[in-house]
Structure 1
Amino acid sequence: MGITEFSFPTAIRFGAGARHDIPTALQNKGIQRPLVVTDRGIVALPFFQALLQELTQAGLQPSVFSELGGNPVKSQVTAGVEAFRQQSADAIVALGGGAALDVAKAIALMVHHPGDLFDYEDGKPDGRAIDQPIPYVVAIPTTAGTGSEVGRSSVISDDETHAKKIIFSPRLLPQRVFADPELLLDLPPKITAATGMDALTHCVEAYLAKGYHPMCDGIAIEGVRLVAENLAKSVADGSDLEARSNMLMAAMMGAVAFQKGLGVTHSCAHALSTVYDLHHGLANALMIPYAMQFNLQAVPERLARLATVVGADEPTGAGFIAWLNALKAEVGIPNTLTEAGVAVDRLDQLVAIAFADGCHPLNPRPCTADDIRGIYTSAF
């Protein structure tokens, strides 16, 4: 497959080598001084230096902000805004996994908006309006996980409490996406597995979420099919370009689909990332079979349809859960929280944070704090 272009939900250039078209796209917008926002790990990779060289050879004056690592926190956003202003940058090139892309979108927001980042938290009763100009943002994903490149939100943690805050506005959606599966080649198996399970969880939870949205449902089901056919291949052979392409597409589809909503898997995962600083995709992967077991009585027919889509041995909800467990084992994800190094002694804290999280209200089966405690307990 060559490079294709479509506009859903933003302008996306998709295919092997798509990144080489970035300099021309920036030039066409009259951009001269892009700030490249990425993480410390990516800066050391050969393709990154090659990309910087391409930008420079096109007559652009790129600068780099790479003080990122792990889950994104507010101090990184503040430092990035300072870098943008110091360099007199006129656009942002966001390059990396979900953390780097979320930080980049938050930097873009705060360049021209007053106050504190968390003044703009979604749903905050006295929250500030997102009504000032936002710099041009180009997004280049290097993992197939969050789909943040096609998302309208940014999830940033408080440095002190580690509590996750969601900043949301349609204006945070990057204006251009360059989705190049070559950038995912030879991503380590553990990262491939965790990010791929994140994409799967987005698709599954979006499909099961309360509410009427057949368009998101259709996208979610196709995303699940792509993950089922390609995640294990991507983990087993890091150089499988077709599998990487399909996973990159599945991740974007998950992010589009979950505008319908998510569920209790994500609430439990957010708490695990808050308390234990677990990778978000790994946290989702650990919790999803146990959350689906909880949901089974509420949406048995939907889980049975997912079983059919993934080719599970049994075309039932229980068959889908068995398939999830088998996939986790195949891609090297621990089966239980205990195996992942999570201790039961902080269960009360996990339950409190998960119950306060904004994802589970759209779960197909309502969750009390005791229900969440039961899901965690089964996961240990």
Structure 2
Amino acid sequence: MSITTFSFPTLIKFGAGARKLVAAQLLEAGCQRPLIVTDQALAALPVLAEFQTHLAGLEVAVFSGVHGNPTCSQVMAGSAAYKSHNADCVIGFGGGAALDVAKLVGLAATHEGDILDYVWDHPQVRPIVNPLPYFVALPTTSGTGSEVGRSSVVSENDTHLKRVVFSAKILAKVVFADPELTLGLSPAVTAATGMDALTHNIESYLSPAYHPLCDGIALEGARIAARSLLAAVQEPGNLQARSDMMMASMMGAIAFQKDLGAVHSCAHALGAVCDLHHGLANALMIDTVLAWNYEAAPAKFEELAHVCGVPGGGKAFVAWLQQLKARIGIVGPLSAHGVTAAQIPRLVEIATADICHQTNLRPCSAADFQKLFETAL
């Protein structure tokens, strides 16, 4: 596999071995003291140590304080590490959580106040006025596509509610998308992150918002994920399948600038209340929500079935998703993953307040979310 370079809009170096190009890129940009932002689990694995062997000529420090769903306190701790190292750039290395934190470490290190002051819906949101440190991103999972996104989602420490900083200024300068970095992922993580990528493409395409550019990307992203997710789970060393899923992940993140839907509102609630992995939460809700959405746009479901190679047309698409989930090991209702009936009122409250369902195919009321969670339980 050769390395391909393209921009959309971020400069992306895609292919096996792309991680080996980071040092030259940083040195060319005049950077010498990078802070690697990663998560606790990844920091203990050989993949990070191997990556660091390719950073000769740089004075490297590592912040590995990311764990679980990313939080505001993790961002602030990362900014303290940035200042302590006297860093001049940030390398985001990890899955969606690590990359979301990495995007904001430089912002917090160069601006006053708490990172919550910069979330888009803050009543007195602070502007990003100072230059941000040079930032590059290396995804090690294929799910959120955070490496190409202009938003960062972090949770409040006390309420666990997800908040969003949204600005083109936090985009990575360069993305090094190296599928070799995902070869060590477990089948369970591959499945959950892969369903996240597939959900992004599906929901963004189904959104009634007008954005034909994103529609085209979402359909192709769904096609790529549909052909390769099972192989990536069942054949962990299949580099072509890993490459396909990394591409589908980036395409989903690009496409969902069009918007998402009620699956994500449900998933955000499940993450806040039950601390479920975001990709798993999407996977557990997608067939329930899409079955409810079908009547609003059967022609769109027909097109999804076509690109994903589902026989039987649009009505068979939801059943195909259920079968795919079972084949990649995501089984059982919400209750099998620790969700209880007693949590539904709070889940409904958070999902109803979430912005994603505002572009769902069908309007979603609190009563609708109640039924969706009860059905999925």
TM-score by length of 1: 0.98
CA distance in 2, matches of 1:379, 1:188: 26
Where does 1:139-288 land on structure 2 (aligned, <5 Å)? Answer: 139-288=137-286
Q: CA deviation at 1:52?
A: 1.7
Spell out, residue by residue over 1:202-232, the C-alpha distance to the aligned partner (whole angstroms, 9 max, x if none): 0011001121111100000000001100000
Structure 1 counterpart of 2:321: 324
Q: CA deviation at 1:125?
A: 3.0
CA distance in 1, matches of 2:349, 2:46: 44
Q: CA deviation at 1:190?
A: 0.4
For 1:45, the aligned partner's letter is: L
RMSD: 0.9
8 Å CA contact retained: 1:151, 1:255:
yes
Q: Is 1:39 the counterpart of 2:39 in the alignment?
A: yes
Structure 2 counterpart of 1:12: 12
8 Å CA contact retained: 1:334, 1:340:
no
User: Residue 67 of structure 1: SS of its match in structure 2?
Assistant: strand
Q: CA deviation at 1:111?
A: 1.3
Q: CA deviation at 1:162?
A: 0.6
Q: 2:348 aligns with which of 334, 338, 351?
A: 351
Spell out, residue by residue over 1:318-371, the C-alpha distance to the aligned partner (whole angstroms, 9 max, x if none): 211001100100001124111222111111000000000010001111111111
User: Residue 167 of structure 1: SS of its match in structure 2?
Assistant: strand
Spell out, residue by residue over 1:87-116, the C-alpha distance to the aligned partner (whole angstroms, 9 max, x if none): 100000000000000000111211112111
CA distance in 2, matches of 1:364, 1:122: 24
Q: Is 1:101 the counterpart of 2:99 in the alignment?
A: yes
Q: CA deviation at 1:31?
A: 0.4
Q: CA deviation at 1:133?
A: 1.3
CA distance in 1, matches of 2:42, 2:211: 37
For 1:355, the aligned partner's letter is: T
Structure 1 counterpart of 2:302: 304
Q: CA deviation at 1:311?
A: 1.5
Spell out, residue by residue over 1:108-150, the C-alpha distance to the aligned partner (whole angstroms, 9 max, x if none): 2111121111111113332111222111100000000000000
User: Residue 32 of structure 1: SS of its match in structure 2?
Assistant: coil
8 Å CA contact retained: 1:325, 1:335:
no
Structure 1: runs of 5 or more not aligned: none
CA distance in 1, matches of 2:292, 2:109: 43
TM-score by length of 2: 0.98
CA distance in 2, matches of 1:47, 1:265: 32
CA distance in 1, matches of 2:159, 2:331: 27
For 1:192, the aligned partner's letter is: T
8 Å CA contact retained: 1:12, 1:177:
yes
User: Residue 329 of structure 1: SS of its match in structure 2?
Assistant: helix
8 Å CA contact retained: 1:201, 1:284:
yes
For 1:77, the aligned partner's letter is: V
User: Residue 235 of structure 1: SS of its match in structure 2?
Assistant: helix
Q: 1:70 aligns with which of 68, 71, 94?
A: 68
Structure 2 counterpart of 1:29: 29
For 1:28, the aligned partner's letter is: E
CA distance in 1, matches of 2:288, 2:178: 34
CA distance in 1, matches of 2:179, 2:206: 29
Spell out, residue by residue over 1:164-198, the C-alpha distance to the aligned partner (whole angstroms, 9 max, x if none): 10111011111100000000003100000000000
Q: Is 1:377 the counterpart of 2:374 in the alignment?
A: yes
For 1:74, the aligned partner's letter is: C
8 Å CA contact retained: 1:181, 1:245:
yes
CA distance in 1, matches of 2:307, 2:273: 34
Q: CA deviation at 1:314?
A: 1.0
Where does 1:68-147 land on structure 2 (aligned, <5 Å)? Answer: 68-147=66-145
Q: How many residues were matched structurally?
A: 377
User: Residue 66 of structure 2: SS of its match in structure 1?
Assistant: coil
Q: Percent identity?
A: 53
CA distance in 2, matches of 1:334, 1:122: 36
User: Residue 351 of structure 1: SS of its match in structure 2?
Assistant: helix
Structure 2: runs of 5 or more not aligned: none
Name which of structure 1's ranges 182-191 and 304-313 shifts more when overlaid on structure 2. Answer: 304-313
CA distance in 1, matches of 2:370, 2:108: 37
8 Å CA contact retained: 1:142, 1:183:
yes
